[in-house]
Amino acid sequence: MSRRNFLNGFMGLIVAGSLLAGASAGAWAEQRVLRLGHPEAPTHPHQVAAETFAELVEKGTNGALKIEIYGQNQIGGQKEIVQGLRTGSIDCGIVSAGFLASNFPRTQLLDLPFLFSNPAVAARLLDGEVGAALNSDLEAQGIKGLGWGWGGYRNMETVSTPVSKPEDLAGLRIRIQDSPLFAAMFKAVNAIPTPVAWAETYTALQQGLVDGLEVPLVSINANKMYEVTKYVSLTQHSYNAQPVLMSLQVFESLTPEQQKVVLEAGQQAAVAMRNAVADREDKTRADLKAAGMEFVDVDLPAFQAVMAPVYEQFRPIVGSDLLDLSIAAAKAN
């Protein structure tokens, strides 16, 4: 090979390498990273939903969109996540529906006491007419609803007082979400509803600032609340919807193809969360018993009777149309 041919070939390789490097850098520069915040520990079904969403979005957009997951309130508590979604400062989030109450009052329907004893009925309504109506409310104030997950039924957990009937809650300080509906529920049983941020709840129980809380078993287990509580009462008083959300500003900035991927991924993430909760139910109970928690038999009809007036109190807020539709669907099953 002549010296000239060798140099020409060598320069050709350099140029080709530069073009490939430039193409790779350009593709990488075009990738958009979106942050997803949620309040729970890495072992919670929230993380299952978040990872499902991230995987499907990245795959469906051929890597153009990447979801970074921030659990355990790393980018803000649930109130901050909701506000950030509305303003566009947070891209995606998973929260308890109760934290939507102040901005989206009709979402309180989903936490009404003992409304959905069958999770399949709730899922069907949320994937249909009820979910569509609530998504419309969200969108009107800057949030895109992608899917309605489930965190497991909310139950009573207490530090030192076993609760089997409503009277046992009288005078107890119960940690609740900062929601008018939860406050009304626990005032109905003469407890002292005490709003505490989730990130501060373990310490509040440990220091005796509250006497108990009401969250799903998976949250007790994932966040080691069994270390600071003793009794579990399976009241299953609220369905506990957990929506997968995106800032509307962010959603509208995506291409139509990306929007389609995101919507489908959000729904599948919600289903993954529901399935994870259901699949872990028996093991979670066994784990909590092994950790030393005691399960207390509950007089459910007594709880249902004393909390029944909450329905009419909140009918004007959640709307008779959605309430009657939900009640009819629940009774039919």
Q: Indicate whether 190 and 326 sit together in one domain.
A: yes
pLDDT tens across the length of the chain (333 residues): 444 443 344 444 443 444 334 433 334 448 999 999 999 999 999 999 999 999 999 999 999 999 999 999 999 999 999 999 999 999 999 999 999 999 999 999 999 999 999 999 999 999 999 999 999 999 999 999 999 999 999 999 999 999 999 999 999 999 999 999 999 999 999 999 999 999 999 999 999 999 999 999 999 999 999 999 999 999 999 999 999 999 999 999 999 999 999 999 999 999 999 999 999 999 999 999 999 999 999 999 999 999 999 999 999 999 999 999 999 999 998
Non-local CB neighbours of 281 within 8 Å, separated by 6+ positions: 152, 217
Q: Is residue 185 part of a domain?
A: yes
Q: Indicate whether 316 and 204 sit together in one domain.
A: yes
Composition of the chain by helix, strand, coil, percent to 5: 55, 15, 25
Q: Indicate whether 85 and 231 sit together in one domain.
A: no
Q: Indicate whether 247 and 222 sit together in one domain.
A: no
CB neighbour class for 43 (10 Å; exposed up to 12, middle 13-18, buried from 19): middle
| Residues of the domain holding 67 | 32-150+240-282
Q: What is the CATH number of the domain that holds 260?
A: 3.40.190.170
How would you classify residue 70: left for phi > 0, otherwise alpha for psi between -120 and 50, otherwise beta?
beta
Q: Indicate whether 145 and 53 sit together in one domain.
A: yes
Q: Is residue 25 part of a domain?
A: no
Q: Indicate whether 176 and 321 sit together in one domain.
A: yes
Q: Indicate whether 47 and 124 sit together in one domain.
A: yes
Q: Indicate whether 181 and 104 sit together in one domain.
A: no
What's the confidence (pLDDT) of residue 108?
97
Q: Indicate whether 230 and 244 sit together in one domain.
A: no
Distances in Å between the alpha carbon of 81 and those of 115, 176, 179, 240, 304?
27, 18, 16, 18, 32
Domain count along the chain: 2
Q: Indicate whether 251 and 200 sit together in one domain.
A: no
Q: Is residue 208 part of a domain?
A: yes
What's the confidence (pLDDT) of residue 333?
82
Q: Indicate whether 122 and 204 sit together in one domain.
A: no
What's the confidence (pLDDT) of residue 30?
81
32-37 β-sheet, strand order? 65-70, 32-37, 92-94, 241-247, 143-150
Instruction: For residue 167, give both structure tokens.
Output: 């009277």
Q: Indicate whether 215 and 304 sit together in one domain.
A: yes
